[in-house]
């Protein structure tokens, strides 16, 4: 029974040796003692936990009861009661919901760490919000669970991913809200020029070398490709973050996030942009997010990979490192405010 299913799942995921070797080299240096246990989690997909985000636009009492009876509990303390996410201490998979014509889905499955960048945005009702790299749409949905923006612009240049994003939004959001949501197809790097100073809040959930998926199912040729692509990503990420800082109004905030542990795509990108933008100030998320949620996630102050930094490491951002029993992440997040 169970073991056979697991064997089958294990076979589908062949390990990418080159990527693992690169991770070992880099992360043993950057994460120190946290790497061996993080590595064990990344190499054991059966240990991965999943969060269940409820959709406040549907009736969820039945779902809530089922979750609670199975041992799920709510993740977030009450300041954001409308954003409800249930997690389980064990890697229990809750079934995903099929599309039902004319009916909204009641919940969305996600890595619970991906809610943290949305919490860091501190969305308020009536704000104009830009989700610069929006597909597949989980963070956009989380934004609408937190508050009702006056406008939510979900930007995604890739046509296939944009299609997927639109379907996700349609299957979770009521008509009244869909009218406030725009799906746009611009190149994120030039977005800030075309809509300078327009938004109150901007999320840049940047394309990154996704540590979870990159470890699996790739030929050695693909492994080499991935590592080459990895070296090119920081330049793109830097352009996207600059663009976001142009799109936000003075006094507004940008949250930059990735799902990689790599400091060259995390801290180093934030640092590069801060050094170029005198009007941008990093904000410390340690007290606001890491301390209250330390029971559920393993946080590490994100360290730049090179030499000393003028900024305090925890100011530049926080990193969620997957650990046994708290397999959430990788997730890096940083909040930058544009000076008034």
Phi, psi for 104 (deg, rounded to 5): -80, 150
Pairing of strands 318-320, 299-301: antiparallel
Is 325 assigned to a binding site? no
Residues 302, 319 contacting (CB under 8 angstroms): yes
Q: Which residue carries 């589908």 as its tokens?
A: 12
Roughly how many angstroms between the first and final C-alpha of the chain, as a whole number? 61
17 three-state secondary structure: helix
Catalytic residue among 154, 259, 267, 277: 259
- 154 counts as catalytic: no
DSSP state for residue 149 in the 8-state scheme: -
The answer to the question of whether 133 is labelled as a binding residue is yes
How distant, in Å, are the alpha carbons of 21, 110, 181, 185 from that of 229?
16, 25, 32, 22
Pairing of strands 248-258, 199-205: parallel
Residue 136 annotated as binding site: yes
Q: What is the DSSP letter of 72?
A: -
User: How far from chain centre, in Å, is Cα 235?
Assistant: 19
Report whether 156 belongs to an annotated binding site.
yes
Q: Is residue 85 annotated as involved in ligand binding?
A: no
**Structural contact between residues 83 and 51, judged by C-beta atoms closer than 8 angstroms:** no
137 is in an annotated binding site: yes
Kind and range of the H or E element at 299? strand 299-301
Q: Measure the CA–CA gap between 302 and 207, rounded to whole angstroms.
A: 18
State the binding site for S-adenosyl-L-methionine: 133-139, 156, 187, 205
Catalytic residues: 259
Q: Which residues are documented as binding site?
A: 133-139, 156, 187, 205
């Amino acid at each position: 029974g169970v073991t056979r299913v697991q064997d089958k799942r294990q076979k589908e995921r062949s390990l990418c040796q080159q990527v693992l070797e690169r991770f070992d080299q880099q992360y043993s240096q950057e994460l120190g003692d946290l790497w061996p246990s993080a590595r064990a989690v990344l190499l054991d997909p059966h240990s991965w936990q999943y969060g269940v985000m409820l959709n406040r636009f549907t009736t969820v009492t039945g779902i809530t009861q089922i979750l609670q009876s199975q041992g799920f509990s709510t993740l977030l303390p009450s300041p954001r009661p409308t954003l409800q996410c249930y997690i389980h201490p064990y890697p229990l998979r809750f079934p995903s919901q099929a599309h039902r014509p004319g009916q909204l889905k009641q919940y969305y499955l996600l890595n619970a760490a991906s809610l943290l960048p949305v919490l860091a945005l501190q969305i308020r009702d009536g704000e104009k919000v830009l989700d610069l790299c929006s597909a597949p749409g989980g963070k956009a949905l989380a934004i609408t669970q937190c508050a009702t923006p006056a406008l939510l612009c979900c930007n995604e240049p890739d046509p296939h991913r944009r299609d997927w994003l639109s379907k996700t939004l349609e299957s979770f959001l009521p008509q009244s809200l869909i009218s406030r949501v725009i799906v746009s197809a611009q190149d994120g790097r030039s977005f800030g020029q075309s809509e300078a100073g327009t938004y109150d809040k901007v999320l840049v959930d940047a394309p990154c070398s996704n540590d979870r998926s990159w470890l699996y199912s790739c030929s050695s040729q693909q492994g080499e490709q991935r590592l080459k692509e990895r070296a090119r990503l920081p330049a793109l990420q830097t352009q996207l973050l600059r663009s976001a800082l142009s799109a936000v109004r003075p006094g507004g905030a940008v949250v930059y996030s990735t799902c990689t542990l790599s400091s060259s795509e995390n801290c180093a990108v934030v640092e590069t942009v801060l050094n170029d933008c005198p009007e941008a100030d990093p904000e410390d998320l340690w007290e606001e997010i890491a301390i209250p949620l330390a029971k559920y996630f393993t946080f590490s102050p994100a360290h730049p990979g090179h030499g000393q930094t003028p900024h305090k490491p925890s100011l530049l951002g926080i990193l969620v490192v997957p650990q046994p029993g708290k397999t959430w992440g990788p997730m890096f997040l940083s909040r930058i405010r544009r000076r008034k």
